[in-house]
Amino acid sequence: MPVGSAAGASGRSFAPPDQYPNALTAMKDPPRYSLTDAFAADAYVNWASRLMAGLYPECDWSCPHAAYLDAGILNYVWRVDVPGRAFYLKQALGRVKEHHRIGADLAAVSPARIQAETRALYFLEEVLPFCCGTLVPRVAWHDVSNNVLWTEAVSGETTSLQCELLAGRCDPGSAEAMGELLALMHQASNAPCLWPSEQEDEENWERFLRMRTTGVVGSHPAGQEFDPAVLKAARALAREARRHARRGMLSHLDAAPKNVLLHPSGAVTLLDFELGANISDPAYDVGFLAGHYLLMGENRPEMRPAARRAATALEGAYRAAAGVDDGWPDRVRRYSGLVLLYRLCGSSPAPCLDPGRYDSIRSEGIRLLLQ
């Protein structure tokens, strides 16, 4: 089976994202839907059920139920339930929802991100077949005409890492599992372009690198400006990131706690590959997630020891599984410091932060960046 293809749980063969041998190929004018409300979603799901019944004949598609999920500023996301199985639908917005803190880089992310996520998941199912349906979602169908990605819901009871951290719980075991998963992803060689061209993959990597390094060093919520040394250090890290970037390495680029599901068994599932690329610094994904653990430790001092243990476990598991260059630990630390500043005053601030902890978060972020 060629790279980019995948096989579903019941043995169905799926084609690469640019070759869809399904009912749409025979339709001259497939209907167009925008999943903006329940009426539109119900109409779309009822239409799509005819095709899904062919892909999942074991399911009863006579009365599917669609429920809207709050999906942030980039997408419409719905959950569709049929007896015995559930799916998630994601449709990229043509333009991101208005947000008073959104930056130009995030606003410029193309709707082609749905294709990027589809390609990433197909690639992972090809090279790491044991991951799909557990460590990462399995693609059910990519509806090209409506730019909708259908994925199978991960089975079993799960909770998000974000919910656990907000509840004051921080488990080094799940952090270690995430380190191993990121290492598996990064070592899977020859990842295809996720975006329409290699140039667009590189532009996407550059967009997020800029947004979360030099773009972070703006004004502090309390009105203070950053010292010039902070901007100099952010620029230096961005230059190093470009030198160490590897092409053909699948990078998530948004490995935040909201995109990590935890299972009672200790397993993890990584979601939302839509912002990924096939080029990145191997330290980036690890530093981005480690920074979120450290952020919660600074926001809630009673969590600080556990948060630091989790960040250490994440880094240690990755190093043991993947091997790293000499400068990798230093770059991970500096990326994690910038995460504290990014979530404090960047284009995607964390709403859960205690204003009384702003100065502590800022100081720790700068310390990690400059240390």
Helix (H) or strand (E) holding 88: strand 85-92
Contacts of 39 (CB under 8 A, 6+ apart): none
- Angle (CA) 219-70-182 rounded to 5° is 70
Q: Is 210 exposed, middle or buried (0-12, 13-18, 19+ CB in 10 A)?
A: middle
pLDDT for 20:
39
What are the sequence ranges of the domains in the chain? 6-152, 159-370
Of the candidates 242, 215, 338, which has an alpha carbon nearest to the alpha carbon of residue 287? 338
**What phi and psi, each to the nearest 5 degrees, are found at residue 247?**
-85, 150
Question: Is the distance from CB of 294 to CB of 340 less than 8 angstroms?
Answer: yes
pLDDT for 100:
43
Whole-number Å distance between alpha carbons of 330 and 80: 44
pLDDT for 203:
92
Record the pTM.
0.89
**CATH topology for 159-370?**
Aminoglycoside 3'-phosphotransferase; Chain: A, domain 2 (3.90.1200)
* Buried/exposed code over 38-68 (b: 16+ C-beta within 10 A; e: otherwise): eeebeebbeebbebbbebbeebebeebebee
155 DSSP assignment: P
pLDDT for 3:
24
- Ordered mean pLDDT values, 10 residues apiece, the chain (371 residues): 31 42 51 90 94 93 92 85 95 66 62 92 88 86 93 91 95 96 91 92 93 75 70 95 95 96 93 94 98 98 97 97 94 97 85 93 96 84
* Buried/exposed code over 332-346 (b: 16+ C-beta within 10 A; e: otherwise): bbbbbbbbbbbbbbb
Neighbours of 351 (CB within 10 A): 5
**CATH topology for 6-152?**
Phosphorylase Kinase; domain 1 (3.30.200)
Bridge-based pairing of strands 268-270 and 159-160 is unpaired
pLDDT for 25:
43
